[in-house]
Amino acid sequence: MSAPAFRTPPTAPGAASIPRTVHREHPPGSAFTRPEPTPEVVVFDLDGVIVDSFGVMRQAFLTAYSEVVGDGRAPFEEYSRHLGRYFPDIMRIMGLPLELEEPFVRESYRLAHQVTVFAGVPELLSELRERGLRLAVATGKSGPRARSLLDGLGLLPYFAHVIGSDEVARAKPAPDIVLRALELLKVGPEKAMMVGDAVTDLTSARGAGVTAVAALWGEADESALLAAAPDAVLRRPADLLTLCPTAVRATAR
């Protein structure tokens, strides 16, 4: 048998050798649908799938709202229903000033050290690479902020490309960001899947023609995700390995 095409990548310079993790209980009974043909590419959403940044986003939003809007209760619950979208798009949907973006981003950078990696994710990424799959991130964050966060957590080397919503013409739920990942990785949609924790991720995946996979280990709205009829439902990161046997291109080398 040929050796896998990829090995566990080195830790990014200056990053911790072992990413921080957060542990959660996972209910049994994850559902799977094996896509055909065997996938060669997995595109991940970032927040709620790779990293647990919900608390940081909440704190950053509350601070930004207080600075720009002033007194009154910040509508974080409504904001959280739009997670997965680009921040300026959420502001437009909610009718809030676009000026919230500057303090939100500032606070997100300042609090980045509080973001954790979900338990099992580093092992999942390493195993996927060992199996010869190529990985990308397609996130609602800006590209620079996403790459900075992943670099600080020591995860950036796992991904061939990290694409932010500011780097495509239309952010999720449009398919542009997933299509861009496929273009960069030079693979057709039939050999790719998108893993996300929001309906916007599933909509973007379907628009791009890739397998739409729902991740339920974070702060996802499970009922909304299941109602969107994803192609597969995962309750813990390791469940993804059932969908990803060794990639054909890896064994062919």
Which 3 state secondary structure label does DSSP give 41? strand
Q: What is the rounded distance in angstroms from the CA atom of residue 19 to the CA atom of residue 122?
A: 7
196-242 pLDDT, tens digit per residue, is: 999 999 999 999 999 999 999 998 889 999 999 999 999 999 999 99
Please, are residues 164 and 144 in contact by the beta-carbon 8 Å criterion?
Answer: yes
Mean pLDDT over 126-142 rounds to 96
Mean pLDDT over 69-95 rounds to 93
Q: What is the rounded distance in angstroms from the CA atom of residue 147 to the CA atom of residue 63?
A: 23
52-67 pLDDT, tens digit per residue, is: 999 999 999 999 999 9
Determine phi and psi for 83, rounding to 5 degrees: -60, 145
Q: The tokens of 157 are what?
A: 């080397």
Name the pTM for this structure.
Answer: 0.83
Longest dimension (CA), the chain: 65
192-202 pLDDT, tens digit per residue, is: 999 999 999 99
Mean pLDDT over 11-20 rounds to 35
Please, are residues 118 and 218 in contact by the beta-carbon 8 Å criterion?
Answer: yes
Tell me whether strands 211-215 and 21-22 are parallel, antiparallel or unpaired: unpaired
Amino acid at 144: P
167-191 pLDDT, tens digit per residue, is: 999 999 999 999 999 999 999 999 9
Q: Please name every residue paired with 135 in a beta bridge, in sequence order, or none if there are none.
A: 42
CATH of 21-52+115-251 given 3.40.50.11440, 3.40.50.1000, 3.30.300.30, 3.50.50.60: 3.40.50.1000
Can you say how many angstroms the Cα of residue 98 is from the centroid of all Cα atoms in its chain? 24
Does 20 have pLDDT greater than 60?
A: no
